[in-house]
Amino acid sequence: MKISVQKSILEQVLSQLQPFLEKKDTSQITSHVYIETDGTNITLKATDYEIGLKTKIEDVDIKEEGKATANGKKLLDIVRILKDEEIVLEQKEDTLFIKQGHSKFKLPIFDPLEYPIFPQIDNKPNISINSVEFVTSLKKVTPAIDTNNPKFELNGALIDIKEEFINIVATDTRRLALVKIQNSPKTTLALIIPKKAILEIQKLFLEDINIFYDETNLIIKSGNYLFFTKLINGKFPDYERIVPKDLRFQLNLPKDKMVEAIKQITTISNEIKLTFLKDRIIFKSLSEENIEAQTEIEVETPFEEKFVMAINSRYLLDFLANIEGNEFQMGLNEPELPFLLKNDNFLTIIMPIVI
């Protein structure tokens, strides 16, 4: 294999492939990127078995066809320090040479025939969903996905496809985020996508994506990119049971004033006591030390008597960072019961702090 490719193009693709590589054990073939020519293009792949990305570079001069692998991190490091000119990649036996002008590097390769096989989209069912809504919905629920929870299903987001809509849901047991997308799916099913994969989907895609699945994989095709992730095998909690059916108190609140007030208090404490009065909300820090922060905003509320509750400010700020417009709804029952935040088709249910 011998190819000539522009440095900027190769650097961009190698950068996109980095999150998909095995980082800890460089003796594994999954620490390598796979490179193959197919006549007019070169295909590059990276996978750690759990997630994978395959892409093509079309603007390339193929002098000799073939296939090779190379340590993905080292190859990117080499490409980055070279000039913004064409780079030659040449494979000879068990070595990949990287050349530009008087500079020459070589990296060992593994047998490309042993590189993990990517799942194919042929004959696989697809999910009918608006691409932009899908990716933006994943972004909204991402903060509520847990990390390293022994209940593996909580380390991902649920795609719950029903007859007339699709729910995208995440929970870390202290809060639950849900986006409802109106749709007319061809089938009903539930898939759990790992958090790592969701973060990469947000970086790579926005529109014009086609989503396929089988029992173990979710596959996304978009232009020259093919992405896959292993699905989490488990039973997601019965989230619909958690959503309050009735709310005693409902408020319309201004996003900008709430964010400003909360951020003032978080200079002292992330835990905040909220006191709702008829014409205002008082924000006060819950710090145990002999320091205090307090502010308030003027807003009409439905409370005839004082209503006091405590919250983790991060949960509220995560919700507010992902809503459209400057108004949202808050629904409450009792100070120690879960409360609801809502904006259009996006809602979050949060457990208050018991004080």
The pLDDT tens digits of the residues spanning 232-249 come to 999 999 999 999 989 999
Helix (H, G, I), strand (E, B) or coil at 9: helix
What pLDDT does 92 receive? 94
What pLDDT does 39 receive? 81
Percent of the chain, pLDDT > 70? 100
List pLDDT tens digits, range 242-272: 999 899 999 999 999 999 999 999 999 999 9
17 and 103 co-located in one domain:
yes
Q: Which of 57, 84, 114 is the last residue of a domain?
A: 114
- CB of 72 closer than 8 Å to CB of 141: no
Residue numbers of the domain that contains 71: 2-114
Other Cβ atoms less than 10 A from the Cβ of 355: the count is 11
Question: Is residue 121 included in any domain, yes or no?
Answer: no
259 and 345 co-located in one domain:
yes
- CB of 112 closer than 8 Å to CB of 36: yes
71 and 9 co-located in one domain:
yes
22 and 59 co-located in one domain:
yes
How many separate domains does the chain show? 3
Question: Is residue 223 included in any domain, yes or no?
Answer: no
Question: Is residue 56 included in any domain, yes or no?
Answer: yes
What pLDDT does 40 receive? 87
At residue 318's C-alpha, the angle toward residues 313 and 323, to 5°, is 125
Split at pLDDT 50, 70, 90, the class of 288 is: confident
Kindly give, in sequence order, each residue whose CB lies less than 8 Å from that of residue 223, ignoring residues fewer than 6 positions away. Answer: 208
What pLDDT does 217 receive? 97
What pLDDT does 309 receive? 97
- CB of 49 closer than 8 Å to CB of 116: yes
71 and 33 co-located in one domain:
yes
The one-letter code for the residue type at 165 is: F
163 and 105 co-located in one domain:
no
Instruction: Kindly tell me if the per-residue pLDDT of 193 is higher than 80.
Output: yes
Question: Is residue 92 included in any domain, yes or no?
Answer: yes
**Rounded-to-integer distance, Cα 24 and Cα 31, Å:** 8
> β-pairing, 189-194 with 210-213?
unpaired
What pLDDT does 348 receive? 98
Q: Which of 92, 114, 136 is the last residue of a domain?
A: 114
136 and 237 co-located in one domain:
yes
> CATH number of the domain that 164 lies in?
3.10.150.10
Instruction: Kindly tell me if the per-residue pLDDT of 289 is higher than 80.
Output: no
The one-letter code for the residue type at 319 is: F
List pLDDT tens digits, range 26-71: 999 999 999 999 888 999 999 999 999 999 999 899 999 999 999 9
Percent of the chain, pLDDT > 90? 91
Question: Is residue 120 included in any domain, yes or no?
Answer: no
Question: Is residue 317 included in any domain, yes or no?
Answer: yes
Give the DSSP H or E segment for 177: strand 175-182
What pLDDT does 17 receive? 98
- Report the pLDDT averaged over residues 105-134: 94
- Report the pLDDT averaged over residues 307-317: 97
207 and 277 co-located in one domain:
no
44 and 146 co-located in one domain:
no
Kindly give, in sequence order, each residue whose CB lies less than 8 Å from that of residue 345, ignoring residues fewer than 6 positions away. Answer: 179, 180, 181, 182
Question: Is residue 7 included in any domain, yes or no?
Answer: yes
- CB of 146 closer than 8 Å to CB of 192: no
Question: Is residue 44 included in any domain, yes or no?
Answer: yes
At residue 324's C-alpha, the angle toward residues 327 and 189, to 5°, is 120
Helix (H, G, I), strand (E, B) or coil at 165: strand
Instruction: Kindly tell me if the per-residue pLDDT of 227 is higher than 90.
Output: yes
177 DSSP β-pair partners? 170, 348
Q: Which of 178, 210, 241 is the last residue of a domain?
A: 241
108 and 133 co-located in one domain:
no
Entry pTM = 0.91
168 and 66 co-located in one domain:
no
301 — phi, psi (to 5°)? Answer: -130, 165
Q: Average pLDDT over the chain, rounded to whole? A: 95
Alpha helices for 286-350 (secondary structure H): 313-320
13 and 85 co-located in one domain:
yes
Can you point out the beta strands (E) in 255-338?
271-276, 280-285, 294-298, 307-312, 327-332
What pLDDT does 72 receive? 98
Instruction: Kindly tell me if the per-residue pLDDT of 330 is higher than 90.
Output: yes
What pLDDT does 129 receive? 87
